[in-house]
């Protein structure tokens, strides 16, 4: 091989080596991130199949030596797990239905019509997202207390709805502005539909991805909440699953019930994982469209 051919080949080999090295570094970095993120979930899952002795062993036992469902049976017996799950499902589903319905109607009005004070309404909605949730603790608590809604599902649902509604309205406003052509609405109005009828028959079916995205956000926000449910609901039979798990650990001790605690955490995670898996495609599409247009 001539010197000229060798000199032409070396830069290409150098570039290929650099690309390979960059790809390897990126793969190692992503693997480290995945291990860091998924390790708590793996520890929770494997501990739910172990005995308490194996969980507390030093050095740690990374794989269950004997798989057992005893922890799941224990978790169902020690706390009213089914009752807590049903409480969480009820509050989360009611919050999702109310906040999504109100957000869709409010966002449609802000996206399609101009009226006195519309900009002020939008600014106020955006301003609510800048306020830390903890600063609303005392105002909401004493407001619900004055209304007699403490220790009631209605009070908790109102609180959850007030948190998810502004974000949902902002996302849907951007989605309504760019997810479909205005000619569809105009054609419906010409054919005899009223504004509300056009909204129900034309706008909502087209906007399903955005609706599912904000509905999933509202559901997960209510399902995963601990702070507000622990403050607004103190009766044992009304507690949500997040608060119920905390009480379970405080009353019976973590070391003695470690595997049952992990089993209850796994069962609590399952509904959220299933929902996210079903709605994942719509969440990406809906939130990205709403964020770009909003």
CATH number, domain with residue 74: 1.10.3720.10
Element (DSSP H or E) covering residue 132: none
H-helix segments, the chain: 3-47, 52-55, 70-78, 81-112, 118-128, 137-146, 153-178, 182-190, 195-198, 204-206, 208-223, 227-232, 241-252, 258-293
Tell me the C-alpha distance between 185 and 199, whole Å: 8
Span 164-197, pLDDT tens digits = 988 888 888 888 877 677 777 778 777 777 778 8
Q: Are residues 19 and 125 in the same domain?
A: no
Where does the pLDDT of residue 100 fall: very low under 50, low under 70, confident under 90, or very high at 90 and above?
A: very high
Q: Are residues 247 and 132 in the same domain?
A: yes
Task: Note whether residue 163 is domain-resident.
Answer: yes
Span 196-251, pLDDT tens digits = 888 888 888 888 888 888 898 899 999 999 889 988 988 878 889 988 887 666 55
Q: Are residues 41 and 79 in the same domain?
A: no
Q: Are residues 110 and 228 in the same domain?
A: yes
Angle (nearest 5°) at CA 105 between 104 and 106 = 95
Structural domain span for residue 193: 70-293
Tell me the C-alpha distance between 36 and 32, whole Å: 6
Q: Are residues 33 and 143 in the same domain?
A: no
* Residue 253 confidence (pLDDT): 55
Q: Are residues 87 and 213 in the same domain?
A: yes
Q: Are residues 18 and 163 in the same domain?
A: no
pTM of the model: 0.80
Task: Note whether residue 54 is domain-resident.
Answer: no
Q: Are residues 268 and 220 in the same domain?
A: yes
* Residue 249 confidence (pLDDT): 64
Q: Are residues 81 and 13 in the same domain?
A: no
**272 pLDDT higher than 80:** yes
Q: Length of the chain, please?
A: 294
Q: How many domains does the chain have?
A: 2
Task: Note whether residue 55 is domain-resident.
Answer: no
């Amino acid at each position: 091989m001539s010197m000229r051919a060798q000199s032409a080949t070396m830069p290409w080999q150098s570039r290929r080596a650099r690309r390979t090295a960059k790809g390897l570094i990126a793969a190692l970095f992503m693997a480290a991130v995945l291990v860091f993120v998924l390790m708590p979930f793996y520890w929770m899952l494997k501990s739910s199949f172990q005995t308490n002795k194996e969980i507390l062993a030093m050095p740690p036992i990374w794989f269950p030596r004997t798989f057992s469902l005893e922890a799941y049976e224990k978790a169902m017996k020690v706390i009213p797990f089914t009752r807590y799950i049903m409480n969480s499902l009820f509050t989360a589903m009611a919050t999702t239905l109310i906040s999504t319905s109100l957000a869709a109607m409010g966002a449609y009005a802000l996206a399609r019509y101009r009226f006195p004070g519309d900009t002020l309404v939008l600014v106020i909605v955006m301003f609510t997202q800048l306020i830390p949730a903890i600063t609303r603790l005392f105002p909401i608590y004493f407001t619900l207390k004055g209304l007699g809604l403490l220790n009631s599902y209605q009070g908790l649902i109102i609180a959850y709805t007030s948190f998810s509604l502004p974000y949902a309205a902002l996302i849907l406003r951007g989605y309504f502005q760019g997810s479909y052509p205005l000619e569809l609405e105009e054609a419906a109005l010409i054919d005899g539909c009223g504004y509300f009828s056009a909204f129900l028959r034309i706008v909502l079916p087209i906007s399903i991805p955005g609706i599912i995205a904000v509905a999933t956000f509202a559901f997960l926000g209510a399902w995963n909440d601990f702070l507000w449910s622990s403050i607004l609901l103190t009766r044992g039979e009304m507690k949500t699953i997040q608060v119920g798990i905390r009480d379970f650990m405080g009353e019976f001790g973590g070391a003695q019930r470690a595997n049952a605690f992990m089993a209850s955490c796994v069962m609590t995670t399952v509904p959220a994982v299933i929902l996210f898996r079903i709605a994942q495609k719509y969440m990406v599409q809906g939130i990205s469209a709403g964020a770009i247009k909003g």
